[in-house]
Amino acid sequence: QVQLVESGGGLVQDGGSLKLSCAASGRTVSSYAMGWFRQAPGTERKFVAGIRWNDGITNYAGSVKGRFTISRDNAKSTVYLQMNSLKPEDTAVYYCAGGSSGNPFGPYDVWGQGTHVTVSS
């Protein structure tokens, strides 16, 4: 079973940057797809970005394309989400997710505990 631990959330000003990390453990992690989702108060959890671990193929939600970048470090078994040009509407709890199917478009079936990101105006 893959386990995921996020870090890097916090408070940032409008237009600022933040980098989230997700450390993955488990002997099958290299076959997974990894993704980031977010959930703002009173809304459903939404897909943000995904990456296939073995070849780095990525996909993004339209709302973050060009501002956010998902990447992975195979040696550290860590996935990152670099968030630039942040907006108040990016405020949410961000969740790291793992997909045992290996498809960065989903589905995702393993979840981290979440990390808060707040963008102040």
Residue range 14-49, pLDDT digits in tens = 999 999 999 999 877 788 899 999 999 999 999 999
- Cα separation, 79 vs 44, in Å, equals 23
Q: Mean pLDDT in the chain?
A: 94
Tokens 């409008």 locate to 14
Dihedral (CA of 19, 40, 50, 87) sign: negative
State the average pLDDT over residues 1-6. 91
State the average pLDDT over residues 95-119. 94
Question: Quick one: pLDDT at residue 26?
Answer: 84
Question: Quick one: pLDDT at residue 1?
Answer: 79
